[in-house]
Amino acid sequence: MTDLVAVWDVPLCDKVHRVEFEHGTTTGKRVLKLDGQELVRREWMFKLVGSELFEIKGEDGQVLAKCEITINASTGFTYEYSLLVNGKQLKKFREKQSKAMSTWVVDMDDKMWRIALEKETLDIWVNGVKADTNHEFADEGTEMHFIVDDDHKACIKTISSGNKKEGIVYSLIVNGKEITESFM
């Protein structure tokens, strides 16, 4: 029997991480899982409210985000659960991420590929692995060339929108075909 009370998806540069939280309101049990792996297990806690702190790390062990699950009493014997990522509520964090990162999901050779561009560093991530890139100036902006799965040529083009509020426009081309941006 599971006491699963909340599931959150956290979009980061490497991938979308899944956070699952179980809370036994009669036993005080807390189980925190990240991407299916158990990070925290506490049994028989007498204090049912509080918080759990954890970090989301990349493949190389680098901390990508610091997180906190808060447990607050609601009406009666019910509880409210929220996730803070880098000190922000998940909704606000996602809004910030969408401004700092462009993401595309590509289906090639019966496999899904998540390609993410960190706009500040211009790092490109392919299914959680930082891609080797070749940057070139082009007529209208810049192009960042890289390879997906050893044989698919990809390029992220950056051009000015001509609109100060819109800023730079990023587009992904894989094997000569433009891919629509995903927002997760």
pLDDT of 112: 87
pLDDT of residue 147: 92
Q: Note down pLDDT in tens along the chain; length 184 residues.
A: 578 999 999 988 888 899 999 988 777 789 999 999 999 998 877 777 889 999 999 877 888 899 999 999 888 778 899 999 999 999 999 888 888 889 998 888 888 888 999 988 889 988 888 899 998 998 888 899 999 988 899 999 998 877 777 778 889 999 889 988 886 6
Q: Hey, is 93 helix, strand or coil?
A: helix
pLDDT at 133: 92
Predicted confidence at residue 184, as pLDDT, reads: 60
- Angle at CA of residue 34, ends 115 and 26, nearest 5°: 150
Identify the structural domains of the chain with CATH numbers, from first to last: 4-86 (2.40.128.180), 98-182 (2.40.128.180)
pLDDT number for residue 151? 85
Query: What is the per-residue pLDDT for 116?
Result: 92
